[in-house]
Structure 1
């Protein structure tokens, strides 16, 4: 796994977001890797880490939410630019490109409702 992670990280954008999901959390008695070992591995390789269970659904949605939040934070901080070719991300809908400016700046400009 270590050599594969290094290979992917070398080939991908420097701002890649990777989340390591330890699945089958519901089968704790059959565990082969401890939480501490997996957590330490993730930290050493600069990965996000969650234990999940596809059977119970525990942390499955949370994995996607955390990954999306991390990507959004990188966009807002300027680390990732969806407009730049090779960034690894892009907007799916041209109307969403207005989200490019940070939310904090948008919060200051309150507009009247035209209803």
Structure 2
């Protein structure tokens, strides 16, 4: 998944990003908050393949992020390889109030590595930071694991929007930066992207968002 050519000589970038993590950590609400600025307090486990396409402006370039939700498969302790196919980014999500979801992060990272060797933008997300009073995983623990695994790190709240847009945009910017370097340095890579173009059916209104440089965690 990479660069598509548009009529008139323009360029369009399309990146597949997957959301992974234990069930009920808030992946679907993170996606709906980012894509539609919505939050469903009664949301049920996702059933079927779900993704949203969001347009982000990165350094004046139009970047489309196709963000996939795990479709409830995480309840069965494994997500199919097809889900990961072509992904160039991933948000690994845990619930800061549920240590078991944090303990599962390494397993999810192993699965990501097994099924997807193209994910260049990876973010560890500690969700539900609005529930700081019942926190079970410290911010320092999250940062430490992220450093150990070479991930970006951010705490978010899908409920009150804290850092949701920031988390996605950091990953998208990292993918863009990485692929841009490859394009600059490799004619063969450009040819590969040209061959592997992806065509999408738009699944809803897109909204452009500006660039973002705030890497801060949820304020206490």
Pick the TM interval, shorter chain: 0.5 to 0.7
Taking structure 1 as the reference length, the TM-score comes to: 0.65
Alignment partner of 1:78 is 2:182: yes
Residue pair 2:156, 2:162 contacting (<8 A) in 1 also: yes
User: Larger radius of gyration, structure 1 or 2?
Assistant: 1
Alignment partner of 1:44 is 2:152: no
Within the candidate set 84, 87, 108, 1:4 is matched to 108
Structure 2 gaps, min length 5: 1-103, 201-220
Query: 1:4: Cα distance to partner?
Result: 2.5
More strand by share: 2
Structure 1 gaps, min length 5: 94-115
Residue pair 1:19, 1:49 contacting (<8 A) in 2 also: yes
Within the candidate set 145, 153, 157, 1:53 is matched to 157
Instruction: Tell me: CA distance 1:10–1:82, structure 2 relative to 1, closer, same or farther (3 Å).
Output: farther
Residue pair 1:25, 1:53 contacting (<8 A) in 2 also: yes
Query: 1:55: Cα distance to partner?
Result: 1.1
Alignment partner of 1:28 is 2:132: yes
Equivalence for 1:103: none
Superposition pairs of residues 89-104 of structure 1, within 5 angstroms: none
User: Over residues 60-104 of structure 1, what are the superposed CA-to-partner deviations in whole Å (9 max), with x where a residue is unaligned?
Assistant: 00011101100011012118957537xxx96658xxxxxxxxxxx
Equivalence for 1:62: 166
Q: Which runs of 4+ in 1 moved over 6 A?
A: none
SS at match of 1:78: helix
More helix by share: 1
Query: 1:3: Cα distance to partner?
Result: 2.3
Query: 1:14: Cα distance to partner?
Result: 4.8
Instruction: Tell me: CA distance 1:69–1:4, structure 2 relative to 1, closer, same or farther (3 Å).
Output: same
Taking structure 2 as the reference length, the TM-score comes to: 0.36
Query: 1:31: Cα distance to partner?
Result: 0.6
Instruction: Tell me: CA distance 1:91–1:25, structure 2 relative to 1, closer, same or farther (3 Å).
Output: same
Equivalenced residue count is 90
Instruction: Tell me: CA distance 1:78–1:29, structure 2 relative to 1, closer, same or farther (3 Å).
Output: same
